[in-house]
Amino acid sequence: MTDPVPELADRAAACADRLLDADRVLLASHIDADGLTSAAIAAQALERAAIPFETVFEKQLDQDAIADIAATDYDTVLFTDFGSGQLEIIGEHEDAGAFTPVIADHHQPADRDTEFHLNPLLFGIDGASELSGAGASYVLARALADTADRSAELCSDGGMVTASGATDVRADNRDLAALAVVGAVGDMQASGGELHGANEKIVAEGVEAGVLETGKDLALYGKQTRPLPKLLEYATDVHIPGISNDENGALRFLDGLDLELKRDGEWRRWSGLTNDEKQTVASALVKRAVSTGVPATKIDQLVSTAYVLPEEPVGTELRDASEFSTLLNATARYERADVGLGVCLGDRDGALERARKLLRNHRRNLSEGIDLVTREGVTHEDHLQWFHAGDEIRETIVGIVAGMAMGNEGISRSKPILAFAEKSAEGDAAENGQEVKVSSRGTHTLVRQGLDLSTVMGEASRAVGGDGGGHNVAAGATVPKGKEDAFIERADEIVGEQLS
């Protein structure tokens, strides 16, 4: 078998061997789109390898959550999309004999290490832009299939070996590449409009396996599901005067095209247009952008690489990797990780309908959150900007709101943004109102200039008695209530040092 990411092959094989040696496994994962896809990939790989397992999700892998995991009677715990940054706490339980950890993660590792630790950062691969948690889980899944079936004539899921010795795409887990791409896109790794590095190799395997299609397309969110006027009105990443955030303007623009863009009185969707119709709309959009003074560098951003799941129906959220990831975020961030996992595992009935209901609620909450932040404004420090949402925005989505609000009036894209929110009642500190959640978002341009929000959030939070971490472009922390000002002061200093 060709390894999807050769640099990780040996470590992935060692992790796979450990899982195969286990009588059963506790699978623990994070609650965002990357965490859900990571768990779904691992769950299918474990099932196909005939390894009994149970799945749990954690909003935050803190000391209490790890203690709860240690209190179970599982001897082997597989952590996906988290674990690396919590290795000091995990290691204490490992030393005490509570469990053996196997970690497939892409976040910044703690100083301590462990034997079965699969993380691209340990091998010179950027975990913020080149391989997501779902990507690490996919690499492990491919190794698990190879290790389990190395000398077998029949695959563990019944897939037959062909005369050439190759197995079908389910048997070697290449069909799971689609979920890995959904996770990477959901983790904002498609910088510059496409996936890079190790992610590209996973995309290639997905295309070869027939579970992915790629191509250049309009870089607008909602190409599968939004009616054309809404697709253009809500396209704000590249602001086109007279169309973006302008309902009547978007309608006038479409009415001015010599195309039949309605069927039976209903606006068509981008996914239902012919290639010629798409070209006509895209060309007119570019002409409008040029005529209204949109910079050429911004106009170039109107086109990106689309990642399509061809086995899913046209016009559904599941066919587009970006829309799929948003659907997943709408589940676990509202305490329904089981629903998101069900969708990833193929439930197209009950789980999908529940996910769509949660998505409608999620979109409403995001819209209200963005309106709140734009209306109330942000506070600008020398090197960053911030707002405190209190209990008006859920802690699980305040980071998404912050990132989406960047570029709105009064909210700069030239500074990282920090967003505070009250933590929900979970654990003693949160229950007593002693902790505050803070999320941060940057841009890939700022990262190229030296920004590393993982360091900012980690160092600034620990300076005030909290803890945090994440990626260079997006990170989070928990800080003691009342220490927000001191945290901001230290974070501003660190950002200034990074960008100087």
**What per-residue confidence (pLDDT) applies to 354?**
97
pLDDT > 70 fraction of the chain, expressed in percent and rounded: 94
Over the chain, what is the mean pLDDT?
92
> Higher model confidence: residue 79 or residue 470?
79
Q: How far apart are CA 127 and CA 454, in angstroms?
A: 12
Q: Which secondary-structure segment (H or E) carries 455?
A: helix 453-463
Condensed to tens digits (0 to 9), the pLDDT of residues 381-407 reads 999 999 999 999 999 999 999 999 998
Q: Residue 449 above 60 pLDDT? A: yes
Residue with tokens 């994962």: 29
Question: Which residue, among 14, 21, 22, 91, has the nearest Cα to 53 in the 3D structure?
Answer: 22
| Structure token pair of residue 331 | 């589940």
Position 277, amino acid: E
Q: Which residues pair with 44 in a beta bridge?
A: none
Paired sense of beta strands 76-80 and 100-104, if any: parallel
Paired sense of beta strands 53-57 and 25-29, if any: parallel
For residue 53, the SS3 value is strand
| Structure token pair of residue 218 | 């309009």
**What per-residue confidence (pLDDT) applies to 429?**
45
Q: Residue 295 above 90 pLDDT? A: yes
Q: How far apart are CA 231 and CA 219, in angstroms?
A: 11
Q: How far apart are CA 60 and CA 77, in angstroms?
A: 16
Q: Residue 167 above 80 pLDDT? A: no
Residues comprising the chain, all counted: 500
Q: Which CATH number fits domain 6-151+169-180: 3.90.1640.30, 3.40.140.10, 3.40.50.970, 3.40.50.300?
A: 3.90.1640.30
For residue 494, the SS3 value is helix
Q: How far apart are CA 28 and CA 23, in angstroms?
A: 17
**What per-residue confidence (pLDDT) applies to 445?**
87
Q: How far apart are CA 261 and CA 125, in angstroms?
A: 45
Q: Please state the domain extents for the chain.
A: 6-151+169-180, 211-362, 377-499
Q: Which residues pair with 306 in a beta bridge?
A: 215
Q: Work out the pLDDT band at 425, boundaries 50, 70, 90.
A: low
pTM (global) more than 0.85:
yes
| Structure token pair of residue 255 | 């009415």
Mean pLDDT in residue range 300-313: 96
Question: Which residue, among 443, 375, 370, 365, has the nearest Cα to 401 in the 3D structure?
Answer: 370
| Structure token pair of residue 71 | 């209190």
Q: Residue 154 above 60 pLDDT? A: no
Condensed to tens digits (0 to 9), the pLDDT of residues 237-288 reads 788 999 998 999 999 999 999 899 999 999 999 999 999 999 999 999 999 9
Instruction: Kindly report the CATH number that applies to the domain delimited by 377-499.
Output: 3.10.310.40
**What per-residue confidence (pLDDT) applies to 150?**
64
Q: How far apart are CA 145 and CA 12, in angstroms?
A: 11
Q: Work out the pLDDT band at 192, boundaries 50, 70, 90.
A: confident
Question: Which residue, among 37, 25, 68, 27, has the nearest Cα to 332 in the 3D structure?
Answer: 37
First to last CA, the chain: 46
Sequence-distant (6+) residues with CB within 8 A of 281 are 218, 228, 254, 257, 259, 270, 273
Residue 362 contacts residue 333 (beta carbons within 8 Å): yes
Q: How far apart are CA 254 and CA 251, in angstroms?
A: 5
| Structure token pair of residue 302 | 């109107």
Please list the helix, strand and coil fractions of the chain in percent, rounded to the nearest 5, in that order. 45, 15, 40
Residue with tokens 């988290």: 82
Burial of 385 (0-12, 13-18, 19+ CB in 10 A): buried
**What per-residue confidence (pLDDT) applies to 423?**
87
pLDDT > 90 fraction of the chain, expressed in percent and rounded: 85
> Among 116-125, 133-142, 428-437, 458-467, whose mean pLDDT is lowest?
428-437
Q: How far apart are CA 117 and CA 78, in angstroms?
A: 10
